[in-house]
Amino acid sequence: MIQKIREKIDFGTRRYVISMLFLLLISFLLHASELAVNVSNGKNEFSFYALLQLFLNDVTFIYIATTYLYLIYLLIYYLSDFSARMLLAFVLIIMICVQIGLMQYYLISNMLLGADMWSYSWNDIKLTVAASVTISWWQILLFPTVLIACMQLHYYFQQHTFSFLTSIILLVLILSIGFANRHYNWIEIKDINDKNLVINKESYFIDKTKEFIKGRQVNSPYLQQELLASAGAYPLQIKQSTTDYLGPYLNKKSTPPNIVFILVEGLGKTFVGPYADYEGCMPFLDSLSRQGLFWSNFISNAGRTFGVLPAILGSLPFGKSGFMEEPNMPYHTSLIKLLNQNGYSSSFYYSGAAKFDGMRNFLEKQEIGNIYDEDNFEDSYQKLPANSGGFTWGYGDKELFKNSFRFVSKTKQPYFNIYLTVTTHEPFNIPNPSSYEQRLQYFMAKNGNPQVAQNKDAFRCLMYTDDAIRNFIEEYKKRSEYNNTIFLITGDHRMIPVKHKNEIDRYHVPLLIYSPLLKTHKLFKSMASHDDVPSTFTAYLKNAYKMQMPDSVHWLGSGLTFETHFTNNKHIPIMRNKGQIADYVFGKYFITDGALQDLSDNLIQTQNRDEELTKKGEKYIEQFKNINDYVCSNNKLYNYLFVPDTSIKEYTTTPTNEVIVEEEKKEAPKTTSPKKETTVENKTNSPKPKETNTPKAAIKPTAKVVEQNINTDDELKAAQAFVIKNPGNAQGYYNLGVQHLKLGNYSWAKANLEKSLALNYKLKEAYQALINMELQRGDREAARWYYYKAIGVFEKSEFENELIKIKGR
């Protein structure tokens, strides 16, 4: 018996060790070829130290795998030689396939694949892969050829094992090198592209997946003491800053300005403005940067598009996988909601499918007036050319801007319009690319950076988008409202395929505010982020145009800073990929994957080895992760009920359900809140919207409807007065929510009804009102969420009717 065990351990160990050496050889050859491809593409320079670190990281991966597999393999080998060998071969083939897939992803996207894979919907994954990956016939043949060759080589290795003693020595050597490399930093790699290259892609993917599955727990002492002392803690709710730093740069008109946000896909600072590495590839934006207010040390709060709308519109936390992916978004406000409440109309323009990344759902939660996406283009418009796999993101940027003029408001009502472009995203296809060839050749010769030649398609797209924005602004100049319009232009993140100079370069984007209202132009070097935009615009509109804004907000950002020298007093959290918060800016420091960097003008990084500062940076990240999880998981982001105390300004049109005709204005009482009718134009099966010059207020109501509105308004005032006198009365907040429901003010109704439950979680009618409200709005998932909250307090039978409605029976 003992002899048999010894023999099994002998043969099993010899075959296991030779299999691990085989895996190490294949891994190293694959990663060496990865380095060769990147060197040939200009993304990396050949470095012996990078190659050595790559080998050490592969050894470390074998060490980790051995820790889990060796004893399991010996146990199976003792029971069945054949089963153990087949299982080991199967595991090795799977590991090699995964390795090839992760390498392919990195070579195409220049990014490491981590837990973000589990944060995208299947449809979003298909779109992203289709845009980035094209598979040719030789690749289809190469993949099985490589696998067959690997299987044959593994069989050869199995027939030529080492002695037991040599195998033990090799096993101990692998474990020792792997352990030492995992815990000690032998080789310092400074270049960001080399750092990403030498990382073992399997180890990275597994580690990030484990973190994602484990999730976050609110366990920091900071939160225990300061945030969770009260069950009603709202750690991100702060007093709204009222200081207006933007207003002094703008002339004031008699009516509020139109506001237009242009969010350009992949627009990094490296392509635009003074001191840009590729200055001149987008000459029109360069000229605007000299005519407007320009921030040269500005960053995005996320490394992908999923983060730009929540940040720039709401200065919102990330949730688990990006705020737009939160299944139950915590109660919040945003620029869209606040401008709507002050009489603005609002629209979103996108040339792809607005459902991507959860954008449509998020915008509808903001009660945006209109969403125009690829369903709202007429047949005369042409989509971007498809890649070899037949995929296209949608329509080009020129088509996007041209099409939007069919819908841009022509009434006296000010508007807030948001554009999100797609042309500068992989696969970098534009109509008639040859028309940019001469311009591209001239730029290549002038700039001299080899990255231009190695990314010609990307730079053609940048030139195309520059022309698209030029055409857009020139067309706007023909419109009467141009002289009272503010344009904000920024990137959602920095383009990924073009080589980055350092880690923060991925987030380094320009911010440009351009307007005929500007008194002067100026270059600002102080740091800021997308999160700072809402605070700046609300303070400006409140001070310059006496608009009503809430006293308390949940903004992560404190507002843009207007310093002409490099400085930063902000804390800026960053979500690199969905589900991965690994970067954080505090003051003039940037911590990324546990490494501290000093920041200077143009966001140049220098490594800082100060251990105390590094620990402080890691603590900031940990605290933010906990706060982020706490507020999003427990609906503890915001509990401030904002209700304007005067009627809508005279420049607004009267919504459909505000039925006051000209002769009755003196008798009819003013409403205490705008009654907004939210319309989302681009439902898949709905007809395309047509322009109309007939304002909604022209619809004359019957006397009966007028009387009903007057009564409802009086009841609303009475409910508001009661709540002011009795702030702790749950029934009072319930009654106020019901009155808002009658007026169609859903966000205010929801806030009041939830407040009533916060004061009395056993208020059954509040649950019922919330469920019915969400069903009325067509959001069955939200209704289901309130149903589950209700049956956590009451018996299921008490909400049987609501369940039937939710199921749609």
Domain boundaries, the chain: 2-214, 226-633, 662-672+698-807
> Looking at residues 567-590, what average pLDDT do you find?
93
For 635, the token pair is 């609906």
> CA 304 to CA 307: how far, in whole Å?
6
Structural fold of domain 662-672+698-807: 1.25.40
Structure-token match 């300005």, residue found = 257
pLDDT at 708 over 50: no
**Burial of 520 per CB tally in 10 Å (0-12, 13-18, 19+):** exposed
Quick one: pLDDT at residue 304? 92
- The predicted-structure confidence for 559-575, as pLDDT tens digits, reads as follows 999 999 999 999 999 99
Higher pLDDT, 228 or 741: 741
Binning the chain into helix, strand and coil, the percentages to the nearest 5 are 55, 10, 35
If you write DSSP's letter for every residue of 728-739 in order, what string do you get?
T-HHHHHHHHHH
Q: Are 287 and 513 in contact (CB under 8 A)?
A: no
Quick one: pLDDT at residue 109? 66
Q: Are 479 and 487 in contact (CB under 8 A)?
A: no
Q: Of all helices (H) and strands (E), which one includes residue 371?
A: strand 370-372
> CA 683 to CA 676: how far, in whole Å?
19
> Looking at residues 461-486, what average pLDDT do you find?
97
- The predicted-structure confidence for 404-452, as pLDDT tens digits, reads as follows 999 997 667 899 999 999 999 988 999 999 999 999 999 999 998 999 9
> Looking at residues 295-304, what average pLDDT do you find?
96
pLDDT at 273 over 80: yes
Most confident of the following: 42-56, 86-100, 694-708: 86-100
Q: Is 228 left (phi over 0), alpha (psi -120 to 50) or beta?
A: alpha
pLDDT band at 785 (very low <50, low <70, confident <90, very high): confident
Pairing of strands 485-491, 522-524: unpaired
| CB within 8 Å of 575: residues ≥ 6 apart | 301, 302, 303, 307, 318, 322, 581
> CA 651 to CA 343: how far, in whole Å?
8
Higher pLDDT, 448 or 676: 448
Tally of CB atoms within 10 A around 271: 29
Most confident of the following: 53-57, 77-81, 560-564: 560-564
Smallest CA-to-CA distance from 557 within 532, 591, 523, 583 is with 532
If you write DSSP's letter for every residue of 217-282 in order, what string do you get?
----HHHHHHTSSSTT--TT-EEPP---SSGGGBPPPSSPPEEEEEEETT--GGGSSTT-TTTTSS
> Looking at residues 749-765, what average pLDDT do you find?
85
pLDDT band at 180 (very low <50, low <70, confident <90, very high): confident
Please state, in angstroms and as integers, the Cα–Cα distance from residue 238 to each residue in 342, 372, 535, 617, following that order. Answer: 21, 34, 11, 23
CATH topology agreement for domains 226-633 and 662-672+698-807: no
pLDDT at 387 over 80: no
Smallest CA-to-CA distance from 93 within 31, 162, 19 is with 19
DSSP strands (E only) in 170-244: 238-239
List 239's β-bridge partners, or say none.
Answer: 552
Q: Are 278 and 505 in contact (CB under 8 A)?
A: no
pLDDT at 33 over 90: no
Second CATH level (architecture) for the domain 226-633:
3-Layer(aba) Sandwich (3.40)
> Looking at residues 459-473, what average pLDDT do you find?
97
- The predicted-structure confidence for 608-640, as pLDDT tens digits, reads as follows 989 999 999 999 999 899 899 989 988 889 987
Q: Which amino acid is it at 384?
A: L
Quick one: pLDDT at residue 150? 76
Give pTM, 2 decimals.
0.68
Q: Are 501 and 195 in contact (CB under 8 A)?
A: no
Quick one: pLDDT at residue 696? 33
For 660, the token pair is 């006051």
Mean per-residue pLDDT of the chain: 81
| CB within 8 Å of 350: residues ≥ 6 apart | 359, 371, 372, 373, 374, 394, 400, 419, 420, 422
Pairing of strands 589-592, 583-586: antiparallel
> Looking at residues 115-135, what average pLDDT do you find?
57
Please state, in angstroms and as integers, the Cα–Cα distance from residue 454 to each residue in 31, 385, 457, 500, 507, following that order. Answer: 21, 21, 9, 14, 22
pLDDT at 664 over 70: no
List 604's β-bridge partners, or say none.
Answer: 600
- The predicted-structure confidence for 89-100, as pLDDT tens digits, reads as follows 888 888 888 888
